[in-house]
Structure 1
């Protein structure tokens, strides 16, 4: 059975229009291979535990990382294309939303339409069983890498797999770390065994998930159809100072409030978990009202108390970053 899928993986139906794809992908479109590699990574990390592949943020992020490492940012990747067109390979089966089965016969190129008509996809049961076993999974991974990518590019693909594995492991480690004693600073080399991308991705995943994609300050929550979120993971004590990715040294913040927090224009009362607004934000300017109205509002907190921001970290921010006094002169 493994040999059967090795043959199928080595003969994917991909775009090979002359001049469209370079030598790094052996002159073929890499979409299907990146999607299959991403699925293997998520199965290996226990993020896909049943024979159902959902087009969610983790899958999109992993696909995007493969694309960025190999193709760069100049050429845009679209995960919807392989997710839909993989059905031509025979082992991939789209699952339509009830009543929308006929829509699967028409090409789907946008994530909006994908969400309208498709729940996800399943693999052949035999293939899924192989992918849950590390040895056949690694064998099929090698087929993809050696068939569709040049020798110079192959190490990058192995690196992406390692980064993905480490990022999930790091997220789990951070959640475990949140149950111990909080430290204002960690040793600079505490996480040196991790790729920088694994550390930043793992921290972001832990924080954004804990706050349910919600800004802790304004409570805005926007998740686009392709899984993009309006918030990012902010360190309370900058990592350059603390080397501390403990979730209790983090907040999920939207772009405006991330900037305002880093600039000391807003802070958090470490006792009451209430937002405080710097007196630098003068009350006589209408344009500053969106920040001024935050004064005294409760901070949005994770459900689990162990993930609440550390009061020591908030106190450090209040003392070292927050602008608690009006300067003598303003520009």
Structure 2
């Protein structure tokens, strides 16, 4: 298809979606929101500079953005997999799947998981003229508007618009923290106007830290991701943001849920040599600290670039203000 913006607006408004009776609520106009959410996620990644070429990879980052939209739906008990809309969007006239070499003969096989999708396909591409239109903000925002207005009720549309702003703003904020671009003040101003500046900062800090540590816990080294893009690590401030309003990566670490809680509670810290400290308090009855005790005196895992290593000044604050030196 070689189309104009008006033709693609029409195509976006006529995407084939599941309308099984009783499966979907009025918020999504009684239809599946998965394909619209996928397209909105891709538009966010194009707007924020994460996608610069006409190749849409089913990446963990794209999956995470897709899940941010899914989380907007109240009482959503479905295990939403991005594999379904990613694969079945090929029924539209603007989307082409790209099979892996040697897997072309399997095209058309059922795809039920992200693992299976990545095994058979490299990704997908838009029609060339559509991708060119998506590089232009005015065209991209018109296409975004038709998705929001066609597939979602007025009751949830403002929430979706806000999430789009948070997604784009937080990525630009993360790029600024990593020094790959300037922090986009315009996005932060718009976020302030929409009362979501804190979410932009929180999500941006998380993106920067998780990327630097490649989803690995700095204290115990565990790294676990689901095929749907969920990670075991959080982005933790060393000195709480409320204390010094410092989101720089040197005031953060990626920590698994247990290490994050232990660090915040002062049961773990880091010494001047970047080795793990474990408080004597963890051995107090009735605790059963398990592997936490084995982490004592082990070096922490740090980003590849030393300029992003956690600051010793931050650890000094934590040892003084949080770490439990006694049981």
TM-score by length of 1: 0.88
- Residue 56 of structure 1 and its aligned partner are, at CA, apart by 1.2
**Selected match of 1:102 from 84, 105, 111:** 105
- Structure 1 residues 285 and 155: alpha-carbon distance in aligned structure 2, compared to 1, 3 A threshold: closer
**Selected match of 1:268 from 267, 270, 275:** 270
Q: Deviations over 1:221-265 (max 9, x none)?
A: 223322222211111122233332221111111122112211212
SS of equivalent residue, structure 1 residue 62: helix
**Selected match of 1:69 from 40, 55, 72:** 72
Matched residue, 2:313: 312
- Structure 1 residues 64 and 231: alpha-carbon distance in aligned structure 2, compared to 1, 3 A threshold: same
Matched residue, 1:133: 136
Matched residue, 2:299: 298
- The whole-number CA distance in structure 2 between the counterparts of 1:218 and 1:24 is 42
- Whether the aligned pair in 1 keeps the contact of 2:64 and 2:230 (CA below 8 Å) is no
| Matching of residues 3-42 of structure 1 within 5 Å | 3-42=6-45
- Structure 1 stretches of 5 or more lacking a match? 178-189, 327-331
- Whether the aligned pair in 1 keeps the contact of 2:239 and 2:318 (CA below 8 Å) is yes
TM-score by length of 2: 0.89
- Residue 123 of structure 1 and its aligned partner are, at CA, apart by 0.9
- The whole-number CA distance in structure 2 between the counterparts of 1:9 and 1:57 is 25
> Is the aligned partner of 1:43 residue 2:43?
no
> Is the aligned partner of 1:93 residue 2:96?
yes
- Whether the aligned pair in 2 keeps the contact of 1:96 and 1:104 (CA below 8 Å) is yes
- Residue 88 of structure 1 and its aligned partner are, at CA, apart by 0.6
Matched residue, 2:240: 238
- Structure 1 residues 212 and 137: alpha-carbon distance in aligned structure 2, compared to 1, 3 A threshold: same
SS of equivalent residue, structure 1 residue 18: coil
- The whole-number CA distance in structure 2 between the counterparts of 1:59 and 1:320 is 38
Instruction: Please identify, of 204-213 and 216-225, the stretch whose mean Cα deviation from structure 2 is larger.
Output: 216-225
**Selected match of 2:229 from 210, 227, 230:** 227
Matched residue, 1:83: 86
RMSD: 2.5
- Structure 1 residues 205 and 319: alpha-carbon distance in aligned structure 2, compared to 1, 3 A threshold: same
How many residue pairs get aligned? The number is 314
- The whole-number CA distance in structure 1 between the counterparts of 2:21 and 2:76 is 21
- Whether the aligned pair in 2 keeps the contact of 1:230 and 1:255 (CA below 8 Å) is yes
- The whole-number CA distance in structure 2 between the counterparts of 1:291 and 1:152 is 47
**Selected match of 2:220 from 218, 221, 245:** 218
> Is the aligned partner of 1:162 residue 2:165?
yes
Matched residue, 2:127: 124
- Whether the aligned pair in 1 keeps the contact of 2:173 and 2:201 (CA below 8 Å) is yes
- Whether the aligned pair in 1 keeps the contact of 2:48 and 2:169 (CA below 8 Å) is no
SS of equivalent residue, structure 2 residue 72: helix
- Whether the aligned pair in 2 keeps the contact of 1:268 and 1:275 (CA below 8 Å) is yes
- The higher radius of gyration belongs to 1
- Residue 283 of structure 1 and its aligned partner are, at CA, apart by 10
Q: Which runs of 4+ in 1 moved over 4 A?
A: 283-287
- Whether the aligned pair in 2 keeps the contact of 1:283 and 1:292 (CA below 8 Å) is no
- Structure 2 stretches of 5 or more lacking a match? 181-188
SS of equivalent residue, structure 2 residue 87: helix
Matched residue, 2:258: 256
- Whether the aligned pair in 1 keeps the contact of 2:41 and 2:62 (CA below 8 Å) is yes
- The whole-number CA distance in structure 2 between the counterparts of 1:214 and 1:94 is 31
Matched residue, 1:187: none
